[in-house]
Amino acid sequence: MKSQLGTLATELKRKIEAREARIGIVGMGYVGLPLALLFSEEKFRVTGFDIDNRKVEALNAGGSYIVRIPGTEIQGAQKSGFSATADYGKISEMDAVIICVPTPLNEFHEPDLSYITQTVDAIAPRLREGQIVILESTTYPGTTEEVVVPLLEKGNAKGLKVARAEDEGDFFVAFSPEREDPGNDTVARRDIPKVVGGVGKLASEIAAAVYGTIFNRTVPVSSPAAAEMTKLLENIYRCVNIALVNELKQLCHRMDIDIFEVIDAAKTKPFGFQAFYPGPGLGGHCIPIDPFYLSWKAKQFDFRTKFIELAGEVNIAMPYYVIDKTVEALNQHKKSLNGSKVLVLGLAYKKDIDDLRESPSLTIIELLRKGGAEVFYNDPFFAKVGHGRHYDLNMTNTPLENLGQYDAVLIVTDHSDYDYQRIVKESKLVVDSRNATKGITSEKIVRC
Ligand SMILES: NC(=O)c1ccc[n+]([C@@H]2O[C@H](COP(=O)([O-])OP(=O)(O)OC[C@H]3O[C@@H](n4cnc5c(N)ncnc54)[C@H](O)[C@@H]3O)[C@@H](O)[C@H]2O)c1
């Protein structure tokens, strides 16, 4: 005979299959909102939870605040029952609750799990039997079982317990990392395999059933910790390889070799090499941050993650390298940085996206200002920049006109819409940290 838990699991899987399951997504940001839209496309009734009332209001008015998501997609989702709310009371109506809240570092470069713990504290009292809670926020291995599960169990007055075995427990918990690559349209979201690791076999099966409706392939692993570690391995792999090419770029400059030519040649090898590209430094909410979640956790095991630390050191130094090269380039033009007018082209941490988080442009602008330059910026995605966690700039977008007035135009983000031929033609000096001017020959260009 089936246990009560087995019956709950079977019923939840039936509801998922029939698209009757209610999906709640907590955190309507870059990860949560696209996920909500995917479930809506599959005709699930989705509720988006966010503590930011401006986002809730925008979504309920059928609008979007993420450039690559048009308002029409939100309106389409509304037809399948999508709505947003700041009211956690509705959590108990959900069958699956997926958490997509931020996981930054604190001022000491340590994991800041406060967004996760606040979210879980708000879910716990509303938890009911037979629900699945899935964490998607990137974090160190152990978070789901060591932090999320105890808070859920302690925080519900009904004494509900997580299902660890097939015949004991009341609700399900899993971890499933997000693998989105903002701005990369070469792989459809559906085609990105979804890794899932449940606390217990039933949770893994249910999490795979949930994501199996919107992804073509799910990849179950044996535990939440294995799924958490998978995400970190992927991001650390990127971080370390980017650091490697950033270091080699600096050597290549000294040796007068074009690193981009070298990478293009190396990537013709049909096996054993994947191309990574150097740049002005790392940005975004993932690569500069996630590896340090693991370094922190590793200390608990008396282990130093030397690769992560070294990669961090190289990548963090890149904006300083760009400044050194800009100073040298100005010097060649008999100018000092102090008193020069510099236009920074592109603020986003990578091309064609509207995300400023951890962008190297912010450090570069601060360093230019510190060096006495008069700094301007142009970026089609940002009309103004005020202040954030690590910067206080207070600047407005400068039109891309009259480029001859600047002593240097510094390319930090290689947005596709820029006409680089025109930029080089009209500028006195172009410092290019992205190889955006590839193929253009001019003495005015300094590549760094
Ligand atoms: N952005 C990416 O490309 C990406 C890719 C892979 C993984 N991730 C991971 O996904 C997670 C979310 O990242 P993101 O880029 O979507 O962040 P984001 O800042 O764009 O969105 C997070 C949202 O959560 C909301 N929020 C914060 N606390 C809340 C709470 N207590 N209750 C409800 N809502 C709350 C915020 O208001 C915000 O709208 C992070 O762990 C990140 O590392 C992000």
Cβ of 140 less than 6 Å from ligand 1: no
If you measure from the C-alpha of residue 181 to the centroid of ligand 1, how many angstroms do you get, rounded to a whole number? 14
For residue 105, the cross-strand partners are: 111
Cβ of 26 less than 6 Å from ligand 1: yes
Cβ of 121 less than 6 Å from ligand 1: no
Residue numbers annotated as active site: 286
If asked whether residues 104 and 8 sit together in one domain, one would say yes
Name the residue of 25, 28, 30 to mutate for ligand 1: max ligand atoms within 8 A of Cβ: 30
Average of per-residue pLDDT across 281-292: 92
Mean residue pLDDT of the chain comes to 96
For residue 48, the cross-strand partners are: 25, 84
Q: Say what the pLDDT of residue 265 is.
A: 98
Average of per-residue pLDDT across 68-80: 96
Q: What would the pLDDT profile of 158-185 be if each residue is shown by its tens digit?
A: 999 999 988 899 999 999 999 988 878 8
Q: Say what the pLDDT of residue 262 is.
A: 98
- Long-range contacts for 302-309 (Cβ within 8 Å, ≥24 apart)? 307/236, 307/240, 308/236, 308/239, 308/240
Q: Say what the pLDDT of residue 167 is.
A: 84
Q: What would the pLDDT profile of 364-403 be if each residue is shown by its tens digit?
A: 999 999 999 999 999 999 999 998 877 889 999 999 999 9
Name the residue of 38, 50, 117 to mutate for ligand 1: max ligand atoms within 8 A of Cβ: 50
Cβ of 124 less than 6 Å from ligand 1: no
If asked whether residues 278 and 411 sit together in one domain, one would say yes
Give the residue, by CA position, lying nearest to ligand 1 atom 13: 102
Q: Are 70 and 34 in contact (CB under 8 A)?
A: no
pLDDT reading at 82 higher than 90: yes
> What percent of the chain shows pLDDT beyond 70?
100
Read off the tokens for 54: 């401006």
Residue bearing tokens 């699930």 = 44
Q: For residue 388, what are the domain limits?
A: 242-447
Q: Does residue 232 form part of some domain?
A: no
Cβ of 378 less than 6 Å from ligand 1: no
Q: Say what the pLDDT of residue 80 is.
A: 94
Q: What would the pLDDT profile of 187-198 be if each residue is shown by its tens digit?
A: 999 999 999 999
> What percent of the chain shows pLDDT beyond 90?
92
Q: How confident is the model at residue 120 (pLDDT cuts 50, 70, 90)?
A: very high
If asked whether residues 165 and 27 sit together in one domain, one would say yes
Q: Say what the pLDDT of residue 185 is.
A: 83
Locate the ligand 1 atom nearest the alpha carbon of residue 139 and give its number: 41
Exposed / middle / buried, residue 162 (Cβ in 10 Å: 0-12, 13-18, 19+): buried
pLDDT reading at 1 higher than 70: no
If asked whether residues 337 and 380 sit together in one domain, one would say yes
Locate the ligand 1 atom nearest the alpha carbon of residue 119 and give its number: 31
d(CA 392, CA 362): 9
Q: Say what the pLDDT of residue 182 is.
A: 80
Give the residue, by CA position, lying nearest to ligand 1 atom 5: 180
Q: Say what the pLDDT of residue 3 is.
A: 77
Q: Does residue 87 form part of some domain?
A: yes
Q: Say what the pLDDT of residue 390 is.
A: 74
The last residue of a domain, from among 222, 251, 270: 222
Q: Say what the pLDDT of residue 321 is.
A: 98
d(CA 242, CA 21): 41
If asked whether residues 215 and 261 sit together in one domain, one would say no
Question: 3-class secondary structure for the chain?
Answer: CCCHHHHHHHHHHHHHHCCCCEEEEECCCCCHHHHHHHHHHCCCEEEEECCCHHHHHHHHCCCCCCCCCCHHHHHHHHHCCCEEECCHHHHHHCCEEEECCCCCECCCCCECCHHHHHHHHHHHHHCCCCCEEEECCCCCCCHHHHHHHHHHHHHCCCCCCECCECCECCEEEEECCCCCCCCCCCCCHHHCCEEEEECCHHHHHHHHHHHHCCCCCEEEECCHHHHHHHHHHHHHHHHHHHHHHHHHHHHHHHHCCCHHHHHHHHCCCCCCCCCCCCCCCCCCCCCCCHHHHHHHHHHCCCCCCHHHHHHHHHHHHHHHHHHHHHHHHHHHCCCCCCCCEEEEECCCCCCCCCCCCCCHHHHHHHHHHHCCCEEEEECCCCCEEEECCCCEEEEECCCCCCHHHCCEEEECCCCCCCCHHHHHHHCCCEEECCCCCCCCCCCCEEEC
If you measure from the C-alpha of residue 137 to the centroid of ligand 1, how many angstroms do you get, rounded to a whole number? 7
If asked whether residues 198 and 106 sit together in one domain, one would say yes
If asked whether residues 287 and 406 sit together in one domain, one would say yes
The last residue of a domain, from among 166, 193, 222: 222
Cβ of 126 less than 6 Å from ligand 1: no
Q: What would the pLDDT profile of 59-69 be if each residue is shown by its tens digit?
A: 999 999 998 89
If you measure from the C-alpha of residue 225 to the centroid of ligand 1, how many angstroms do you get, rounded to a whole number? 20
> 242: alpha, beta or left, given left = phi > 0 and alpha = psi -120 to 50?
alpha
If asked whether residues 149 and 282 sit together in one domain, one would say no
Q: Does residue 335 form part of some domain?
A: yes
Q: Say what the pLDDT of residue 109 is.
A: 86
If asked whether residues 218 and 246 sit together in one domain, one would say no
Locate the ligand 1 atom nearest the alpha carbon of residue 115 and give its number: 28
If you measure from the C-alpha of residue 97 to the centroid of ligand 1, how many angstroms do you get, rounded to a whole number? 14
Q: Does residue 228 form part of some domain?
A: no
Q: Which residues make Cβ contacts (< 8 Å) with residue 172, sequence separation at least 6?
A: 9, 12, 131, 132, 133, 162, 163, 198, 199, 200, 202, 203, 206, 207
- How many angstroms separate the Cα of 330 from the Cα of each of 200, 365, 411, 433? 61, 16, 15, 15
Cβ of 180 less than 6 Å from ligand 1: yes
Give the residue, by CA position, lying nearest to ligand 1 atom 31: 119
Q: Does residue 429 form part of some domain?
A: yes
Cβ of 50 less than 6 Å from ligand 1: yes
Q: What would the pLDDT profile of 301-354 be if each residue is shown by its tens digit?
A: 999 999 999 999 999 999 999 999 999 999 999 999 999 999 999 999 999 999
pLDDT reading at 2 higher than 80: no
Q: What would the pLDDT profile of 205-239 be if each residue is shown by its tens digit?
A: 999 999 999 999 999 999 999 999 999 999 999 99
CATH of residue 161 = 3.40.50.720
Name the residue of 178, 194, 353 to mutate for ligand 1: max ligand atoms within 8 A of Cβ: 178
Locate the ligand 1 atom nearest the alpha carbon of residue 28 and give its number: 39
pLDDT reading at 408 higher than 90: yes
Q: Does residue 305 form part of some domain?
A: yes
Q: Does residue 234 form part of some domain?
A: no
Cβ of 115 less than 6 Å from ligand 1: yes
Taken in order 381, 386, 392, 394, is the CA torsion positive or negative? positive
Q: Are 305 and 295 in contact (CB under 8 A)?
A: yes
pLDDT reading at 279 higher than 60: yes
Read off the tokens for 421: 């031929």
Cβ of 143 less than 6 Å from ligand 1: no
Neighbour count for residue 41 (Cβ, 10 Å): 17
If you measure from the C-alpha of residue 29 to the centroid of ligand 1, how many angstroms do you get, rounded to a whole number? 5
Q: Say what the pLDDT of residue 388 is.
A: 82
Read off the tokens for 384: 């103004």
If asked whether residues 177 and 278 sit together in one domain, one would say no
Give the count of domains, the chain.
2
Cβ of 138 less than 6 Å from ligand 1: yes
Name the residue of 101, 287, 289 to mutate for ligand 1: max ligand atoms within 8 A of Cβ: 101
If asked whether residues 290 and 205 sit together in one domain, one would say no
Q: Say what the pLDDT of residue 364 is.
A: 97
The last residue of a domain, from among 222, 253, 270: 222
Locate the ligand 1 atom nearest the alpha carbon of residue 86 and give its number: 33
Q: Say what the pLDDT of residue 27 is.
A: 98
Cβ of 415 less than 6 Å from ligand 1: no
Q: Does residue 50 form part of some domain?
A: yes
Average of per-residue pLDDT across 261-268: 98
Cβ of 189 less than 6 Å from ligand 1: no
If asked whether residues 204 and 257 sit together in one domain, one would say no
